[in-house]
Structure 1
Amino acid sequence: MKLNLRTLGRLAVRALDVYRSTRQAPGPATGRTAPRRAPGRPGRRAPEGLSRPYPGDWTGPVRPVYRPLSDGQADPGEVVWTWVPFEEDPSRGKDRPVLVVDRAGEHLLCLMLTSRDRTDHLRQDPDYVDVGTGAWDPRGRPSEVKLDRVVQVLPADVRREGAVLPEDRFDRVAAALHRRRT
């Protein structure tokens, strides 16, 4: 079997996911396991699916630049799967595909994808951009990117890679995001 860097990266991410899912600190004298706590934040628990508490949606500048690399790490232009907190309750959320558009410090800046059609009477919702179909949806449904919420994702919380978005579609998303945020 021929291994390349992308394959090795995927294997490393899977191994880390397995390690995280089996590692829990023993609880006090009961034999039960204690809830996973976020490092450096006593008393604040990381929501299920995240390695640390969610820092909140990104409100700063976003400078999307298309640069997917075959290095096994999530890069702008790639669609990846991760756990995304709900807006109304960040302690809850769901696993879903997101488009990586930028980086801010240690976080990836991502936009959520949805397969729910947001076209109403031949008029597209301005908060969404059609990106078509891709390997991120195993059922082959057309997807849209949600522009009004930029979520912060730690690379360690990326579950799996879905696909690379074609550059022309990424450019459409970047242009719409730029119009929306300026």
Structure 2
Amino acid sequence: MFRSTAPARPASAPARAVTAPADAQTLEIEPPRHLTISYAPQRDNAPDGGEIVWTWVPYEERDGRGKDRPVLVIGRADATRSYALRLTSKPHDGDRQYLSLGTGEWDPQRRPSWVDIEQLYLVHDAGMRREAAALDRRRFDTVAAALTARYGWKRG
């Protein structure tokens, strides 16, 4: 099931420019039954497994608002889209749906980050704003292990 995250503008919300075409927007999706998690970071201006990239992501309230934020790419969905999990700098110690990633070059302020393993997004290559960093293999493997335990997904 796909849910469009195109930023429809409520009357009280300020206008926000959207640069990606409608068919290239980031979508929040239900976790699929089968998904292959892969680690293959490569600086090539395309989202690759293990990279943290920036894209437009809706707020949790799903009211049409959102913002550009970092997401962790966990694998390719097809030739033009990748699966990703959103990151946040809001502390979530003890919250089982979040894993601590620590700090990294994806955040210029070097704030600790958490990855939300319950919200999955489909990021179109054209909807990616920029590559921010590659997560090191050890931290990626921790995320992959949590996703495998939760959803039964395979690792590639």
- Say whether the fold is shared (TM-score over 0.5): yes
Correspondence 1:180 to 2:150: yes
The residue number in structure 2 matching 1:152 is 122
Match of 2:147, SS state, is: helix
> SS at the partner of 1:148?
strand
Match of 1:138 in 2: 108
Q: Is the 8 A contact 1:54 1:90 kept in 2?
A: no
CA contact (8 A) 2:38 2:74 kept: yes
**Contact 1:81-1:162 within 8 A present in 2 as well:** yes
Per-residue deviation, 1:101: 0.4
1:95-116 per-position Cα deviation (integer Å, ceiling 9, x unaligned): 1000000121232110001111
Q: Which has the higher relative contact order, 1 or 2, with Cα contacts under 8 A spaced 6 or more apart?
A: 2
Note if 1:85 corresponds to 2:55: no
State the Cα distance separating 1:153 from its structure 2 match.
1.1
Q: Percent identity?
A: 44
Q: Which residue of 1 aligns with 2:35?
A: 62
> Tell me, what secondary structure is at the counterpart of 2:106?
coil
Paired with 1:140 and 1:86, the residues of 2 have a C-alpha distance of 22
Return the TM-score normalized by structure 2: 0.77
Runs (4 or more) in structure 1 with deviation over 6 Å come to: none
Q: After TM superposition, give the deviation of residue 70 of structure 1 in Å.
A: 2.9
Q: Tell me the C-alpha RMSD between the 2 structures.
A: 2.2
Q: Aligned equivalents of 1:149 and 1:110: distance in 2?
A: 9
> Aligned equivalents of 2:52 and 2:129: distance in 1?
11
1:89 is displaced (CA, Å) by 2.4
Q: Secondary structure at the match of 1:81?
A: strand
The C-alpha deviation readout for 1:1-38, integer Å capped at 9, x for no partner, is xxxxxxxxxxxxxxxxxxxxxxxxxxxxxxxxxxxxxx
* Partner SS for 2:142: helix
- Radius of gyration: which is bigger? 1
What is the aligned partner in structure 1 of residue 81 from structure 2?
107
Q: TM-score, normalised by structure 1?
A: 0.67
Count how many residue pairs are aligned between Structure 1 and Structure 2.
Answer: 135
- CA deviation after TM superposition for structure 1 residue 176, in Å: 0.5
Q: Could you tell me which residue of structure 1 aligns to residue 13 of structure 2?
A: none
Give CA deviations for 1:21-59 in whole Å, capped at 9, x if unaligned. xxxxxxxxxxxxxxxxxxxxxxx9x53534216554142
Aligned counterpart in structure 1 of residue 99 of structure 2, from 123, 126, 129: 129
Change (3 A) 1:166 1:55: closer
1:51-108 deviation digits (Å, cap 9, x = unpaired) = 2165541421332111112323210000001101234426321110000001212321
Note the residue ranges of structure 2 that are not aligned, 5 or more in a row: 8-16
Structure 1 residues 131, 86: closer, same or farther in 2, change over 3 A? same
Q: Answer 1 or 2: which has greater strand percent.
A: 2
Q: Distance in 1 between matches of 2:37 and 2:89?
A: 22
| Paired AA for residue 48 in structure 2 | D
Choose the corresponding residue for 1:168, options 129, 138, 148: 138
